[in-house]
């Protein structure tokens, strides 16, 4: 039997839905007042999706269309550092589905980060489908092949493209995401987003490498490009270099 959500979990779920509304997913609720931290939103989605099939399907639909906005290096490291392992199969399945739908390798590293954390016993993805044995058997029978390695049975579903806002609306509501769109979620995007959310991230190249899961050489090369375009400033600090944004208008 599915355990009911606590008041705290329900409030966090509702906040997650409001953030998705701000991101352009039409849930019929008031959007969050500020631009979401997209990578944190995806982690929150993994936590709550098993209680809410629409949340999972809307997130999948959004990622298939707007996945280039995700700072993928930052997301991978956030999963490793901050998401309890019990939720890794949900997020892994979400991005595995996106990978199959879009036929793109963009999120291979994210899927790989979640691999090996499959639940010990196969079960329906959505808790409500475990309540009746007849429903459970039907879900097991009809489950998508891509869902089985995660030990989470998920039946075929349709994308909710008609419930997504157009790109123009999303950028108007989240102006800071324009840079994400320009950088297409690469390592530069992860560096910029880390610096925007926490200036301490730029205290050294090593710290940026830790937060993005990239090598120092890769971080150094990405910073060089950001400096060249005037987005980031580098300063000599002792034997190394620190970095900071030239503008706070990023997210």
- Could you list the pLDDT tens digit for every one of the 251 residues in the chain? 455 678 888 999 999 999 999 999 999 999 999 999 999 999 999 999 999 999 999 999 999 999 999 999 999 999 999 999 999 999 999 999 999 999 999 999 999 999 988 888 999 999 998 888 999 999 999 999 999 999 999 999 999 999 999 999 999 999 989 999 999 999 999 999 999 999 999 999 999 999 999 999 999 999 999 999 999 999 988 878 899 998 654 44
In a domain, 170, yes or no: no
Rounding to the nearest 10 degrees, give the CA dihedral for residues 212, 216, 219, 224: 160
In a domain, 172, yes or no: no
Quick one: 121 and 221 in the same domain?
A: no
d(CA 128, CA 3): 9
Q: What are the b/e assignments for 121-131, b being 16+ CB within 10 Å? A: eebbbbeebbe
Quick one: 147 and 109 in the same domain?
A: yes
Quick one: 58 and 144 in the same domain?
A: yes
CA 43 to chain centre: 6
Quick one: 193 and 76 in the same domain?
A: no
In a domain, 126, yes or no: yes
In a domain, 73, yes or no: yes
The answer to whether 221 and 234 have CB atoms below 8 angstroms apart is no
In a domain, 181, yes or no: no
Distances (CA, A) of 148 to 89, 140, 144, 145: 11, 9, 7, 6
Quick one: 224 and 190 in the same domain?
A: yes
Quick one: 85 and 206 in the same domain?
A: no
The answer to whether 98 and 64 have CB atoms below 8 angstroms apart is yes
Burial of 167 (C-beta count, 10 Å sphere; 0-12/13-18/19+): middle
Number of domains making up the chain: 2
In a domain, 179, yes or no: no
Quick one: 103 and 14 in the same domain?
A: yes
Q: Which domain holds residue 105?
A: 8-163
Q: What is the pTM of this model?
A: 0.92
In a domain, 238, yes or no: yes
d(CA 135, CA 29): 30
- Strands 152-153, 232-237: pairing kind: unpaired
Quick one: 203 and 132 in the same domain?
A: no
């Amino acid at each position: 039997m599915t355990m009911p959500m606590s008041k705290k979990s329900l409030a966090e779920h509702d906040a997650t839905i409001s953030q998705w509304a701000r991101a352009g997913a039409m849930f019929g609720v008031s959007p969050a007042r500020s631009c979401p931290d997209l990578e944190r939103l995806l982690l929150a989605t993994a936590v709550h999706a098993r209680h809410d099939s629409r949340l999972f399907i809307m997130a999948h639909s959004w990622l298939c269309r707007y996945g280039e906005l995700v700072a993928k290096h930052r997301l991978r490291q956030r999963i490793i550092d901050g998401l309890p392992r019990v939720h890794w199969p949900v997020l892994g399945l979400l991005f595995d589905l996106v990978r199959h739908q879009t036929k793109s390798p963009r999120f291979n590293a994210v899927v790989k980060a979640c691999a090996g954390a499959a639940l010990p016993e196969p079960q329906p993805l959505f808790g409500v489908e475990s309540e009746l044995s007849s429903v459970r058997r039907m879900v097991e029978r009809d489950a998508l092949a891509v869902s089985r390695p995660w030990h989470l049975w998920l039946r075929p579903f349709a994308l909710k493209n008609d419930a997504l806002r157009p790109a123009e609306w999303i950028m108007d509501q989240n102006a800071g995401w324009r840079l994400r769109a320009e950088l297409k979620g690469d390592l530069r995007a992860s560096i910029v987003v880390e610096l925007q959310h926490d200036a301490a991230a730029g205290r050294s190249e090593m710290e940026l490498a830790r937060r993005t899961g990239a090598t120092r050489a890769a971080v150094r090369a990405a910073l060089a490009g950001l400096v060249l375009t005037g987005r980031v400033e580098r300063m000599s600090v002792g034997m190394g270099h620190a970095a900071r944004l030239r503008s706070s208008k990023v997210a």
